[in-house]
Amino acid sequence: MFFGVDVLNAMLWLFNFLILPAITYGSTLALGALGVTLVFGVLRFANFAHGDMMAFGAMVSLIGVELLNGIGIFTYPVPLGLLLLPVAMVSTGLLAIMIDRTVFRYYRRIRSPPVVVVMASIGVMFVLNGLTRLIKGPELSLFNARQTFSVGEVNTAALAEQLGEQAVRIRTDFATNTELIEVSEPEVVFFYVSEFRKATGLSEGFGLDLLQVVTVVLALVIFLGLFLFLSRTRMGKAMRAYSDNEDLARLSGIDPQRVVAITWLIAGSLAAVAGTIYGLDKGYKPFTYFSMLLPIFAATIVGGIGNPQGAIVGGYLVAFTEVIVTANYKKVANYILPDGLDIAGNLQLLGTEYKFSVSFLILVVVLLFRPTGIFKGRVL
Amino acid sequence: MYSRYWVVFSLLSLLILTTGFVQSWSFALGLVAMGLISGVMALGLNIQWGYAGQFNAGVMGFAAIGATACVLVSMPWVTDTMVQGLEQLSVDPAVNAESIHKLEQDIVRRTNAEHMLWKAWLIGGFGAILAWFANRLLRNRVSVYVRTFLVFLILIGSLALFSAKLDTAVKVIEATGIGDDSKYLGGLGLPIIIAWVFGGILAAGTAWLIARIALGLRSDYLAIATLGISEIVIAILKNEGWLTRGVLNVTGLPSPVPSVSVLQSEPYNLNVVHSLLANKLAFIFVVATFLAFFMWIAHRALYSPWGRMMRAIRDNEEAANAMGKDITRRHRQVFILGSFMIGCGGAMLATHVLQFEPAGYHPLRYTFLIWVMVIAGGSGNNWGAVVGGLLIWFLWVQAEPAAAWFFAVVGANFASESGMFAALLSERAPQMRTLVMGTLLLLVLRFAPRGLLPAVTPRK
């Protein structure tokens, strides 16, 4: 640290406020974009209902969490929403297959132009949106919301031991003059910013929690699994063949119904995973998932629509650009610049309010200069 | 064929009349007004979709731009309001000494800030023109890298100067004002009808810009691009408080018809109920006049040589191209014409609710609902768009009370033992709207893809 140039703090800031959020957000986007791209690759239409499918998946796990928490079952330190992921994946996948059977299959049979199918997906979007709002309401609900029990309903001592003393509180309800037990599940944090600061004496801290790690690891596992499935298994190869040339695939004895069903199952499960991990981090709100449709589409097209590698790269690209363009570099500049040259105002390219606009600027640029995306799209 | 029109229109009138008798007449007239406004927007979308097959998912953006025009054209200039306020306060200088002093200071600061704002835009515009000229002049004279670098340098430099000046000016403008509707620039104080036309023109200008960029795209790419652009428009309107007041909303937009309180006083002297009805009827009349004019234009266009050319392009682009028709240009024309109408409709909508609320724009309500209107009404048929506007708006509004009634019955009969479930049901009734609309759209697409009033191809 000489002349007030402080590289270590600057790097810590960059990691904490730029790289880490971009990676977690990018993982969610990439998972969402993978679903959109798979549906496009096999069925040849942009699925506008994907955002609301994500909301449905998140809703399933949220309801499961609320039911289990409601009878006093907590799975701390592992988030319960994560354990319920298989349930959410299967139910969303089955829902997607059901929607395909009732809505999309007809348009495939009469071979209608893609525009009509897109319009039908808008109808599905409306229905799913109404359904999630009808079942769980339009407002924000948290996966670790505070639960209230009456005395004797739960084993207070065991809960206190599992969740920590501070998480379990006893409160007297003066209206009815009864004692209530309030339980709020804490988050698992590996490093607290303040503790790190105290231990190292640096002015920037370093924070990391379980959800961020789980998000990234889960995303990586799913990417790997999907690629192994697509390249090694019979079904995966059949999907790729079908996406490449439908008629040829039919001639080779590939069952189109099965390919389509498996595609929807995977797309639905991916939507459930993306929706749940986003909800675990930021809370569940149907409208948020709808607005995530925009960056997801951007990621899909930037990477090359129909191309799974492209969807992943596109997801991280869009996330990083959004974060880089809307971050305020005042602090990092002041760490790097010598002492006399401090910046007083904001050093920000674009306000955070324009976050979604950034992904669309990328999208428009890509559509204009390289309409097929970074990787050549259209084939799985 | 025309019997279908009679059936549909009498059904529609029956629905409105029933609403009038059962619920209330002012509610029914409100439905008609909103239905007609939606009809204007649906007509614009129908021209784009039915004449040229353009999948415009950015209706919300154009409608919001039209609404912005209402603010920019018809609201009073805030500095003028402040000067007037000062005059009023000066009647009694002793009492208001403090506020007079503050207001005088604010007016000076604000006038300076306004000058700075104009200068900022002058610099920005000059920089843009300079960059354009530099790009033109240097083409084929220096290497492309040098040219790009120089143009980029000019742009960045003028942008830095522009944003520095703008930021200081905006800070003052967003902090000063008098009364409720202040802390932004204000408008020109012109009649609202001019704002409607200007809203259309503003939307058409934006459409021209978008068409230059995105109209060459495939249909679903165009949908995604326009959806994104409409989100960008809303983000700008929400955050540029100096221009649109942002999330603070602009209330008290002027109306083209005499307000309820005017109708209750001299020379009309109507009672409360009648004044409300008269106000709504007059508004409906104004909107219907605009709609009739637009219908006439759309109809004339469809049955003119231009319309035949458009149909030819829609049905077989390659053949039309071979015949020497400029397809890109025609597409752009249609996109701009449709957006003009959508912008007008957006301006009417803001006028009807008498306020501009950027945070209230939601794609489900302002983009996809209009799409349901077009599809259900009959894509390509202008009467279909109007019928779709009225009918779908009716269903959208009535779905909520219908669902509430249905849930109440269900709650009473089946869920009586747990009162919480019944309460939950009645709380969730408003959410039925989207479900009903989605189901309707899916049913129409599946079983009546040509809509309620199918488009008829005119005889050759």
Read off the pLDDT of each residue in A197-212 and give the average, rounded to a whole number: 79
By Cβ distance, the residue of A128, A354, A363 closest to B235 is A354
B369 part of a folded domain: yes
Chain B environment of A134 (Cβ under 8 Å) = 428, 431-432, 435
Q: Give the mean pLDDT of chain B.
A: 88
B109 part of a folded domain: yes
**In contact, A129 and A52? CB cutoff 8 Å:** yes
pLDDT score recorded for residue B99? 81
Buried-exposed string A239-250: b where 16+ CB fall within 10 A, e elsewhere: bbbbbeeeeebe
Q: Are residue B248 and residue B375 in the same domain, yes or no? A: yes
Range in A77-81, A370-374, B148-152 the model is least confident about: A370-374
How many angstroms away from the CA of A323 is the closest CA of chain B?
17
Work out how many domains chain A is built from and give that number.
1
Q: Are the Cβ atoms of B446 and A297 closer than 8 angstroms?
A: no
Residue A179 has pLDDT above 90, yes or no: no
By Cβ distance, the residue of A119, A134, A291 closest to B431 is A134
Q: Are residue B85 and residue B60 in the same domain, yes or no? A: no
Angle at B224 between CA B222 and CA B230, to 5 degrees: 100
Chosen for mutation from A43, A118, A119 (greatest number of chain B CBs closer than 10 Å) is: A119
Q: Are the Cβ atoms of B428 and A360 closer than 8 angstroms?
A: no
Q: Are residue B182 and residue B306 in the same domain, yes or no? A: no
Domain final position from B136, B154, B186: B186
pLDDT score recorded for residue A372? 77
Structure-token match 């202008």, residue found: B382
Domain residue limits at B338 = 2-75+187-447
Q: Give the mean pLDDT of chain A.
A: 86
Residue B7 CB-density burial (10 A; 0-12 exposed, 13-18 middle, 19+ buried): exposed
Give the pair of three-digit tokens for residue A231: 């390249």
pLDDT per residue over B393-414, tens digit each?
A: 999 999 888 888 888 887 777 6
Tell me which of A133 and A75 has the higher pLDDT.
A133
Instruction: Find the closest chain B residue to A370 by CA distance.
Output: B217
Instruction: Report the candidate in B423, B387, B281, B408 with the shortest Cα–Cα distance to residue B42.
Output: B387
What percent of chain A stands above pLDDT 70?
Answer: 96
Residue A1 has pLDDT above 50, yes or no: no
Q: Are the Cβ atoms of B432 and A134 closer than 8 angstroms?
A: yes
Work out how many domains chain B is built from and give that number.
2
Residues 6+ apart with CB under 8 A from B131: B151, B154, B155, B158
- Would you call A171 helix, strand, or coil by DSSP? strand
pLDDT score recorded for residue B460? 45
Read off the pLDDT of each residue in A161-175 and give the average, rounded to a whole number: 79
Asked if B374 reaches chain A (Cβ–Cβ under 8 Å), the answer is: no
- Would you call A146 helix, strand, or coil by DSSP? coil
Segment-wise mean pLDDT, segments of 10 residues, chain B, 460 residues: 85 92 91 95 93 89 95 89 85 79 86 90 92 88 86 87 85 82 84 94 94 79 87 90 86 87 80 88 94 92 86 86 89 93 95 90 92 91 92 92 84 63 74 91 92 73
Q: What is this model's ipTM?
A: 0.89
Q: Are the Cβ atoms of B439 and A297 closer than 8 angstroms?
A: no
Chain B environment of A118 (Cβ under 8 Å) = 55, 219-220, 223
Residues 6+ apart with CB under 8 A from B393: B31, B34, B35, B38, B373
Residue A99 has pLDDT above 90, yes or no: yes
Size of interface A-B (CB pairs under 8 A): 127
Angle at A56 between CA A53 and CA A62, to 5 degrees: 145
Domain residue limits at A303 = 7-145+184-369
pLDDT score recorded for residue B240? 86
- Would you call A190 helix, strand, or coil by DSSP? strand
Give the pair of three-digit tokens for residue B134: 């530099």
Residue A112 has pLDDT above 50, yes or no: yes
Q: Are residue B302 and residue B283 in the same domain, yes or no? A: yes
Give the pair of three-digit tokens for residue B52: 């040229």
Asked if B239 reaches chain A (Cβ–Cβ under 8 Å), the answer is: yes
A338 part of a folded domain: yes
Q: Are the Cβ atoms of A130 and B220 closer than 8 angstroms?
A: no
Give the pair of three-digit tokens for residue B289: 């006049």
Chosen for mutation from A352, A356, A367, A372 (greatest number of chain B CBs closer than 10 Å) is: A367
By Cβ distance, the residue of A122, A357, A367 closest to B441 is A122
A233 part of a folded domain: yes
Q: Are residue B65 and residue B156 in the same domain, yes or no? A: no
pLDDT per residue over A279-336, tens digit each?
A: 998 889 988 898 899 899 999 988 888 889 999 999 999 999 999 888 888 777 778 7
Chain B environment of A364 (Cβ under 8 Å) = 213-214, 225, 228
Backbone angles phi, psi at B96, to 5 degrees: -100, 20
CA distance A89 to A225: 15
Chosen for mutation from B55, B209, B445, B447 (greatest number of chain A CBs closer than 10 Å) is: B445
Q: Are residue B278 and residue B358 in the same domain, yes or no? A: yes
Q: Are the Cβ atoms of A360 and B225 closer than 8 angstroms?
A: yes
CATH number for position A345: 1.10.3470
Residues 6+ apart with CB under 8 A from B322: none
A216 part of a folded domain: yes
A156 part of a folded domain: no
Q: Are the Cβ atoms of A126 and B437 closer than 8 angstroms?
A: yes
Asked if B165 reaches chain A (Cβ–Cβ under 8 Å), the answer is: no
Backbone angles phi, psi at B54, to 5 degrees: -90, 130
- Would you call A40 helix, strand, or coil by DSSP? helix
Chosen for mutation from A36, A102, A126, A343 (greatest number of chain B CBs closer than 10 Å) is: A126
Chosen for mutation from A134, A305, A343, A356 (greatest number of chain B CBs closer than 10 Å) is: A134
B34 part of a folded domain: yes
The torsion defined by the Cα of B337, B339, B341 and B344, in degrees rounded to 10, comes to: -140
Asked if B433 reaches chain A (Cβ–Cβ under 8 Å), the answer is: yes
Instruction: Find the closest chain B residue to A110 by CA distance.
Output: B446
Chosen for mutation from B234, B434, B439, B441 (greatest number of chain A CBs closer than 10 Å) is: B434
At A25, is the pLDDT very low, low, confident or very high (cuts 50, 70, 90)? very high
B414 part of a folded domain: yes
Q: Are residue B323 and residue B418 in the same domain, yes or no? A: yes
Q: Are the Cβ atoms of B224 and A363 closer than 8 angstroms?
A: yes
Chain B environment of A103 (Cβ under 8 Å) = 442, 446
Residues 6+ apart with CB under 8 A from A48: A118, A121, A122, A124, A125, A293
CA distance A378 to A41: 6
pLDDT score recorded for residue B328? 87
Q: Are residue B147 and residue B225 in the same domain, yes or no? A: no
Asked if B316 reaches chain A (Cβ–Cβ under 8 Å), the answer is: no
Asked if B373 reaches chain A (Cβ–Cβ under 8 Å), the answer is: no
CA distance A239 to A249: 9
User: What are the Cα distances from residue B235, in Å, to A122, B356, B358, B457?
Assistant: 23, 14, 8, 41
B455 part of a folded domain: no
B47 part of a folded domain: yes
Q: Are residue B14 and residue B129 in the same domain, yes or no? A: no
Structure-token match 């009807």, residue found: B352
pLDDT score recorded for residue A356? 78
Instruction: Find the closest chain B residue to A128 by CA distance.
Output: B435
A179 part of a folded domain: no
B459 part of a folded domain: no
Give the pair of three-digit tokens for residue A213: 């790690």
Strand partners, A172: A179
Domain final position from B131, B153, B186: B186
Chain A environment of B445 (Cβ under 8 Å) = 116, 119-120, 123
At A5, is the pLDDT very low, low, confident or very high (cuts 50, 70, 90)? low
Q: Are residue B353 and residue B437 in the same domain, yes or no? A: yes
Chain B environment of A120 (Cβ under 8 Å) = 441-442, 445-446
How many angstroms away from the CA of B87 is the closest CA of chain A?
38
Angle at A96 between CA A43 and CA A236, to 5 degrees: 55
Q: Are the Cβ atoms of A127 and B223 closer than 8 angstroms?
A: no
Please say whether the dihedral angle defined by the alpha carbons of residues B296, B299, B304 and B309, taken in this order, is positive or negative: positive
Q: Are the Cβ atoms of A127 and B435 closer than 8 angstroms?
A: yes
Domain final position from B154, B186, B218: B186
Chain B environment of A124 (Cβ under 8 Å) = 438, 442
Q: Are residue B195 and residue B182 in the same domain, yes or no? A: no
pLDDT per residue over A263-274, tens digit each?
A: 999 999 999 999
Instruction: Find the closest chain A residue to B54 by CA distance.
Output: A115
A154 part of a folded domain: no
User: What are the Cα distances from residue B170, in Å, to A180, A326, B175, B235?
Assistant: 52, 20, 8, 17
How many angstroms away from the CA of A128 is the closest CA of chain B?
7
B135: region left, alpha or beta (phi > 0 left; psi from -120 to 50 alpha): alpha
By Cβ distance, the residue of A114, A124, A130 closest to B431 is A130
B114 part of a folded domain: yes
Q: Are residue B84 and residue B64 in the same domain, yes or no? A: no
Instruction: Report the candidate in B69, B58, B61 with the shortest Cα–Cα distance to residue B243.
Output: B69
A278 part of a folded domain: yes
Residues 6+ apart with CB under 8 A from B302: B51, B310, B382, B458
